[in-house]
Amino acid sequence: MRRAALAAGAFAGLAACSPAAQVAAPAPTPAPAPANPPAGMQYLYGSGEAAALSVQVWQALAAYVSDRVKARPANSVVLADGASLATPSFAPCGTKPYAAIFDVDETVVLNIGFEFHDARTGRGWNAADWDAWEKTGEGAVAAVPGAAEGVARLRGMGVTVIFNTNRAVANAEATARAIRAAGLGEAVHGETLYLAGDDGQGNRKDGRRATIAAKYCVLAQGGDQLGDFSDLFNATGQSVPARRALTVGTPVSTLWGRGWFVLPNPVYGTALRGGFDDVFPMDKRWDLPADGGKN
C-alpha cells in the first residue's frame, strides 16, 4: 500500500516537507541516526523468518490458484457490490478470463531504498519524499521473496496478474518501471495497473476491484493491508479490537489462504495502531506473583 492517508508512524509529527512548507518555515531538524533500524524493518527486510514467511505465502498462493484453474469457479474472490463482511457475496465469474489482483508495496515490491532513507535520516514517512520515491526509486526496490516466481507461475497458468496500488496515477509510468525492475514483468496502466486517482474514490480500492471483476474471474487477491481485500475492513470510527475481530471466525475468515493472501508488514500501515487497552485485553493481563512464581 501507499501511506498517504496512514502516516501514523513515529515521525508523523514532523512537518510535511512540501515546497510551500520549505519556504514558510525552516526545514525540520532530522533526529540523529539510530544505531540500528527499527525492529519491524529488521524483521521484514533482514530476517530469514520474514523471507521464509513471504515465500510461503507466494508458494501457497500459486498452489491454490493451480487447483482453482482446473475447474472454473462460479465466483471471483472480489466481494460483490452491496455485500457486507457479515453476509459476503461475490462477483460472478461467468466465462470471463482468469486474473489475480495484487497490491504493490510490501506485497510484490520491497521498498528497501525508501525505508533506508526513512530510518537513516530520521525524516520518516512524508508525502513529498514518498512522491520522489515513486518517481525515482526503481533502482532501489527488490521483489518480495517468492513474488517474482509466484507471478510468473500465475502467468504460466494463463492468469492475468493485475496490480492495484495506492501509488499516484501521476506516477504510473515510474511505478511500472519499478515493477519491472523488481523482476515482476510488465504492468500497463488501465489494463494490468490500477492506481489512486483512477477514479474518484481516493485510496479506497473497492471501485477499482469492481472494475477489474467486471472483466475477469478473479481467483486470488494478495496484499499486506486489509484494505487490499475490502474497504469494508476500514470503516470509520472502528476500534482496533473490533477491526481484528472481523478477521477471525467470521464468514470472510475462511478466505485467508483460500483466495485472500496476506503478506507480513510490521513496518507501516493500518496494523500499527492501538494503545495498551486496544492491544491487550483486560482479561489477559499478568503481573509477577507476590512470591515471584516460586510455588
**Residues 120-179 interacting with a copy of itself (rule: CB under 8 A):** 120-121, 128-129, 131-133, 135-137, 139-142, 145-146
* Stretch of 44-52, 87-95, 161-169, 204-212 contacting a copy of itself, by CB under 8 A: 44-52
34 or 185, CB closer to a copy of itself? 34
| CB contact at 8 A, 5 and 236 | no
Nearest-angstrom CA–CA distance, 167 and 170 = 9
| Contact by Cβ (8 Å): 252, 85 | yes
Query: Judged by CB under 8 A, does residue 85 bind a copy of itself?
Result: no
Contact 203, 165 (CB under 8 A): no
C-alpha grid cell for residue 40? 519491524
Binding-site member from 103, 105, 115, 206 for a copy of itself (CB under 8 A): 115
- d(C-alpha 215, C-alpha 231), whole Å: 20
How many amino acids of this chain bind a copy of itself (CB under 8 A)? 94
Judged by CB under 8 A, the stretch of 156-164, 192-200, 201-209, 265-273 that binds a copy of itself is 265-273
242: phi then psi, degrees, rounded to nearest 5: -65, -40
Check residue 240 for interaction with a copy of itself (CB under 8 A).
yes
Q: Is there binding between residue 231 and a copy of itself (CB under 8 A)?
A: no
Question: Of the candidates 2, 3, 45, 220, which one interacts with a copy of itself according to CB under 8 A?
Answer: 45
- For position 251 contacting a copy of itself by CB under 8 A, the verdict is no
The interaxial angle of helices 147-156 and 48-68, nearest 10 deg, is 10
**Quick one: which segment of 108-116, 157-165, 192-200, 210-218 binds a copy of itself (CB under 8 A)?**
108-116
Answer yes or no: are the C-beta atoms of 161 and 185 closer than 8 Å: yes
Q: Does 36 bind a copy of itself (CB under 8 A)?
A: yes
Q: Is 167 helix (H, G, I), strand (E, B) or coil?
A: strand
Binder of a copy of itself out of 4, 5, 60, 170 (CB under 8 A): 60
Report yes or no: 80 and 89 within 8 Å, Cβ to Cβ: yes
